[in-house]
Structure formats: structure tokens, C-alpha cells
């Protein structure tokens, strides 16, 4: 029976394998909550569908999937050390930035559970060679080539998507292996890489609901934000309940919307 996922009907999905849907343009790109994503030609837009056993290490931490996709996107773009000069950063929980000012892309992951398996959909949108509405990978590369006298190759959307899928597949395979020791090593390695790429470590941020500033000290095992208050108390902020406005340096509670009944 066909499955409806974010406006697309996915047919004949084989449970043990993944499916990827690629769009050249979108008319109604979806972000977190009520946010929308502008999707012109030149933006790499793709949705990954996969099934993950709830018995696996990753299956017990499904909230990490947005973070995994973010890391995979950065790894895909940083294909050699020279590309690190692009200064890619991850904004918790699901955005990719150039530095700390310009948003390059975003990720939206949803899941449903049936028996011992979870059905996962990860939607990604990254500006590759569309100069508007914000910034794109190839414009940054061209600027680096001019200002630093380098010869970095531009990306095609096809190359970027393939490279990202390879990294996503590797992380999922490593974190769903039946070898528990290897899975534990892989997840600890993932945490280290994620925190090395994000923009928040040890920075102070104002939490609106507490009316006070706290220090960001990392993520917990599920990928939720760990912060420390002035009195030393450590608390966790969940991605689904909070939004992080990096321009104003504020974490706000999200307005919870009741689900629609079909």
C-alpha cells in the first residue's frame, strides 16, 4: 500500500532498504513547525526514507537523526582540508550555516513506529548554486578562490547529494550494527565530531522561559541541548519544544500545535 510522506506518495518501499526522493524545485518546502523553505533551482533538495530497528543503538536514539544528517552534509562539502576555509557550522538542532550569520541549509526528520521498527523520513535542503534568497556553496567557493588565490572545485547538486547520502549511510550502518562494542565506539565518535562542528560550545545564551542566561555545555545522548545555569545546575532542552534564535541569541519555547485528525 502506498505511504504518504510530506506530500509525496512513496510506492513499493522495501523495508530493509532505503529510498531517496530528489526534487529540482519545490512549491511548498517545509521547515520545523510552521516555517517554510524557499526552494529555487540550484538548491539540493532530497528526502531519505529508511527503516531502523528499535533494538539498535540508533533505534533507541532516533532524535539523533537530524544531527546525523547535519554532520553528513558538512562532511560532504568538506571533501578536502581546503574546503574547511568555508567555515561551515551546525546550528542546533537542524541547520547548516556559513559562519554564524548566513543559513545555508536545513534538515527535517520525522518518524513513525510499527512493532520493532521505526520508519524514518529525513528531508534536506541545501543551497548549492542558487545565489538567492540567501547564500550558496558555490558562491562561497568562488569568493575563497578569488580572495585566497585557491582553485577549489564547485559542486553540482548531484555530487553533493551522492556524497551526503554516502555519509548518512555510513553513520546509520555504524550505529545500527549488531556489534555493541563497535556501535558504542561509533556513537562516541559521532558526539565528538558533532560538537566540533557546531557553533554553540561554551557560549552563553538567554533562555526566555527562565529569564536568564545559561552556558551551552554540549548535547546529551539523545542529541538534546545541555546547558548550565549560573548556580551550576545542568538542564536539558528538547529540540521539539524549543527554537534557537542565533541572531538574537535567545532560546524560546515553541508554540505547540495540536495534531490534525484525518
29 and 104, same domain (yes or no): yes
143 and 209, same domain (yes or no): no
pTM of the model: 0.87
> Do the domain assignments include residue 239?
yes
- For 53, the 3-state DSSP assignment is strand
C-alpha cell at 76: 560532504
Q: Is 173 exposed, middle or buried (0-12, 13-18, 19+ CB in 10 A)?
A: exposed
C-alpha cell at 207: 533562555
Judge contact between 104 and 227, C-beta under 8 A. no
Q: What is the largest CA-CA distance in the chain?
A: 57
Q: In which domain, by residue range, is 224 found?
A: 204-253
Going residue by residue through the chain, which has 262 residues, state the pLDDT in tens, using 9 for 90 and above. Answer: 334 444 444 444 444 447 898 988 766 666 555 566 667 789 999 999 999 999 999 999 999 999 999 999 999 999 999 999 999 999 998 899 999 889 999 999 998 998 999 999 999 999 999 988 889 999 999 999 999 999 999 999 999 999 999 999 999 999 999 999 999 999 999 999 999 999 998 999 999 999 999 999 999 999 999 999 999 999 999 988 888 998 899 999 986 544 433 3
> Do the domain assignments include residue 262?
no
43 and 86, same domain (yes or no): yes
Residues in contact with 22: Cβ distance below 8 Å, sequence separation at least 6, in sequence order? 45, 46, 161
63 and 155, same domain (yes or no): yes
144 and 232, same domain (yes or no): no
- For 152, the 3-state DSSP assignment is coil
14 and 56, same domain (yes or no): yes
Q: What is the CATH number of the domain that holds 32?
A: 3.30.930.10
Q: How far apart, in whole angstroms, are the C-alpha atoms of residue 28 and residue 39?
A: 8
230 and 147, same domain (yes or no): no
81 and 138, same domain (yes or no): yes
Distances (CA, A) of 244 to 38, 57, 88, 199: 20, 27, 18, 12
Judge contact between 96 and 86, C-beta under 8 A. no
243 and 153, same domain (yes or no): no
- For 11, the 3-state DSSP assignment is coil
Number of domains the chain is built from: 2
11 and 137, same domain (yes or no): yes
- For 73, the 3-state DSSP assignment is helix
162 and 237, same domain (yes or no): no
> Do the domain assignments include residue 52?
yes
135 and 216, same domain (yes or no): no
- Strand duo 204-207 + 250-253: pairing: parallel
Amino acid at each position: 500500500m502506498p505511504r504518504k510522506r510530506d506530500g509525496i506518495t512513496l510506492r513499493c518501499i522495501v523495508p530493509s532498504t532505503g529510498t531517496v526522493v530528489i526534487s529540482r524545485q519545490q512549491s511548498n518546502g517545509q521547515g520545523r513547525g510552521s516555517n517554510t523553505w524557499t526552494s529555487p533551482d540550484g538548491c539540493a533538495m532530497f528526502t531519505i526514507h529508511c527503516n531502523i530497528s528499535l533494538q539498535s543503538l540508533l533505534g533507541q536514539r532516533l532524535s539523533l537523526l537530524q544531527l546525523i544528517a547535519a554532520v553528513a552534509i558538512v562532511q560532504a562539502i568538506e571533501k578536502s582540508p581546503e574546503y574547511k576555509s568555508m567555515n561551515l557550522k551546525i546550528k542546533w538542532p537542524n541547520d547548516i550555516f556559513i559562519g554564524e550569520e548566513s543559513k545555508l541549509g536545513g534538515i527535517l526528520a520525522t518518524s513513525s513506529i510499527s512493532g520493532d521498527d521505526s520508519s524514518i523520513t529525513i528531508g534536506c535542503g541545501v543551497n548549492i548554486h542558487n545565489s538567492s534568497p540567501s547564500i550558496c556553496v558555490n558562491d562561497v567557493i568562488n569568493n575563497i578562490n578569488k580572495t585566497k588565490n585557491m582553485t577549489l572545485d564547485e559542486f553540482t547538486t548531484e555530487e553533493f547529494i551522492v556524497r551526503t547520502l554516502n555519509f548518512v549511510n555510513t553513520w546509520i550502518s555504524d550505529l545500527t550494527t549488531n556489534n555493541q562494542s563497535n556501535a558504542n565506539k561509533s556513537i562516541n565518535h559521532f558526539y565528538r565530531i558533532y560538537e566540533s562542528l557546531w557553533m554553540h560550545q561554551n557560549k552563553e545564551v538567554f533562555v526566555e522561559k527562565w529569564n536568564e542566561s545559561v552556558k551551552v555545555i554540549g548535547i546529551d545522548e539523545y542529541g538534546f541541548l545541555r546547558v548550565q545555569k549560573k548556580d551550576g545546575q545542568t538542564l536539558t532542552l528538547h529540540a521539539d519544544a524549543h527554537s534557537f534564535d542565533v541572531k538574537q541569541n535567545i532560546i524560546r519555547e515553541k508554540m505547540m500545535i495540536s495534531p490534525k485528525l484525518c
